[in-house]
C-alpha cells in the first residue's frame, strides 16, 4: 500500500491517520479542521472543505501505533489499561453514572479520584443547556471557557438550537442539575444514528459553504447565522420564563446554532468522505460527488489509517 500524501500544509508530508477534528471560524465562514498525524508524529491541520476524497482503513493506536480492530478513546486495550489517570477521569461519577469512585464529599482540596490534576477540570464554572437536534431533545453541561469558546460544545453536538443557563459553580453542581433534568425524562445524549436520521428525513438542503456567520442578536436570542434561516421551536414548549423560575438571578439565553436542513436520498459513506463537503453538523458530514450525496460520521474516521487523500 502506497503512502498517502498531503499537499499544501507546510511542505509535502506523509500522513498516517486522523487524530481529531475541531470547528473553526474562518473569517466569515464556519469550517472544520481535521488534525492529521504524520509518520514522524507531527500534526497538520486540514480544512474539511479543501478535501475532494478521503478514504480510511484500520485503526492505529495513538500510543504504540499498532494496527488494531477496536479502540478505547484512541488507545488499544493494552495501552488504555496502562493509562491510569485517563481511566480514572473517564470513570469519575460526574462523567459516568457507572463509576466505581465514591464522590460523596469530593472537594477541591481533596478530590475523590485522588488526582489533583483533575481539580481544574471539575472546579470551574459550567453551563447547562437544553438542546434540540431535529425533533430530539437533550440536556447537557459544558465547561465555561472551554476550548472552542461559547459555541464549541453546541457545534460539536450538532444542535439546531439550545436554551443555555449561565452558569453553575462547578462540575459537581452542574452534574446534580443535569441529573435533575434526567429525572424529568430528558435524555443526556442523542445517538449519532438518530442525528443522522434527523438530517436525512427531509429534502430542504443548504450549502454551508455559501452561508456567512452573523452572530446576530435578537432580544435574548443569539443566532450563529442569519436569523431568517432558522425555524426555532424550543421556546414554544420551554419559554425562558420557566427557566428563570428554576434559575433566578442567572443569565439565560436562547441560541440558534445550525439551521434545520435535510438531505434525503443520501447514502452512507463508511470510513470515507466521497467528493466535496457541502454540509456539516456535529460529527456528520454531507458530501457530493457526481450529483450523488453521501453522509459520513467523522468520529468513525478518527485513529484510522489514511489510505487515500485528495485535495482541491
Rounded to 5 degrees, what are φ and ψ at 55? -130, 135
Rounded to 5 degrees, what are φ and ψ at 98? -95, 25
Statement: residue 3 has pLDDT above 60: no
Give the model confidence (pLDDT) of 95-137 as tens digits: 555 555 666 677 788 887 777 777 887 888 889 999 999 999 9
pTM of the entire predicted model: 0.88
Closest to 282 (Cα-Cα) out of 162, 193, 155: 155
Place of cell 459516568: 96
Which H helix or E strand runs over 234? Answer: helix 234-237
Question: DSSP string spanning 89-153?
Answer: HHHSTTT-TT--S--TT-BTTB-TTS-GGGHHHHSS-EEEEEEEETTEEEEEEEETT-TTTTTHH
Would you tell me how many other CB atoms lie within 10 Å of the CB of residue 91?
14
Reported as a pLDDT band with limits 50, 70 and 90, residue 214 is very high
Lowest mean pLDDT, pick from 15-19, 83-87, 232-236, 308-312? 83-87
Question: DSSP string spanning 248-262?
Answer: TTSEEEEEE-SPP-E
The residues with which 285 forms a beta bridge, in sequence order, are: 280, 296
- For residue 148, with 0-12 CB atoms within 10 Å meaning exposed, 13-18 middle and 19 or more buried, which class applies? middle
What's the pLDDT at 145? 80
Task: Give the C-alpha separation, 141 to 129, whole Å.
Answer: 6
Give the model confidence (pLDDT) of 32-83 as tens digits: 999 999 888 888 999 999 999 999 999 999 889 899 888 888 888 888 888 7
Joined grid coordinates for residue 185: 425524562
Which residues does 155 contact at the CB level (< 8 Å), separation at least 6?
23, 30, 148, 257, 258, 282
Task: Give the C-alpha separation, 169 to 153, whole Å.
Answer: 18
Amino acid at each position: 500500500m502506497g503512502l498517502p500524501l498531503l499537499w499544501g500544509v507546510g511542505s509535502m508530508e506523509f500522513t498516517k491517520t486522523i487524530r481529531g477534528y475541531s470547528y473553526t471560524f474562518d473569517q466569515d465562514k464556519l469550517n472544520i479542521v481535521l488534525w492529521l498525524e504524520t509518520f514522524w508524529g507531527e500534526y497538520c491541520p486540514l480544512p474539511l472543505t479543501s478535501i475532494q476524497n478521503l478514504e480510511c482503513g484500520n485503526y492505529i493506536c495513538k500510543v504504540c501505533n499498532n494496527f488494531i480492530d477496536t479502540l478505547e478513546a484512541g488507545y488499544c486495550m493494552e495501552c488504555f489499561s496502562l493509562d491510569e489517570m485517563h481511566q480514572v477521569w473517564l470513570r469519575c461519577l460526574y462523567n459516568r453514572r457507572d463509576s466505581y469512585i465514591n464522590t460523596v464529599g469530593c472537594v477541591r482540596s481533596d478530590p475523590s479520584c485522588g488526582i489533583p490534576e483533575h481539580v481544574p477540570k471539575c472546579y470551574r464554572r459550567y453551563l447547562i443547556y437544553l438542546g434540540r437536534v431535529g425533533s430530539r431533545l437533550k440536556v447537557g453541561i459544558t465547561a465555561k471557557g472551554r476550548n472552542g469558546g461559547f459555541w464549541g460544545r453546541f457545534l460539536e453536538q450538532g444542535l439546531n438550537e439550545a436554551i443555555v443557563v449561565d452558569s453553575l459553580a462547578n462540575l459537581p453542581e452542574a452534574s446534580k442539575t443535569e441529573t435533575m433534568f434526567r429525572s424529568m425524562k430528558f435524555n443526556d445524549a442523542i445517538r449519532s444514528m438518530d442525528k443522522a436520521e434527523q438530517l436525512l428525513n427531509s429534502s430542504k438542503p443548504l450549502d454551508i459553504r455559501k452561508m456567512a456567520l452573523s452572530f446576530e442578536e435578537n432580544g435574548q436570542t443569539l443566532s450563529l447565522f442569519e436569523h431568517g434561516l432558522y425555524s426555532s421551536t424550543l421556546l414554544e414548549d420551554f419559554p425562558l420564563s420557566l427557566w428563570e423560575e428554576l434559575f433566578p438571578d442567572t443569565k439565560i439565553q436562547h441560541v440558534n446554532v445550525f439551521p434545520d436542513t435535510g438531505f434525503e436520498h443520501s447514502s452512507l459513506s463508511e470510513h470515507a468522505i466521497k467528493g466535496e463537503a457541502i454540509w456539516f453538523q456535529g460529527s456528520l458530514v454531507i458530501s457530493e460527488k457526481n450529483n450523488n450525496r453521501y453522509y459520513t460520521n467523522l468520529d468513525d474516521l478518527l485513529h484510522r489509517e489514511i489510505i487515500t487523500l485528495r485535495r482541491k
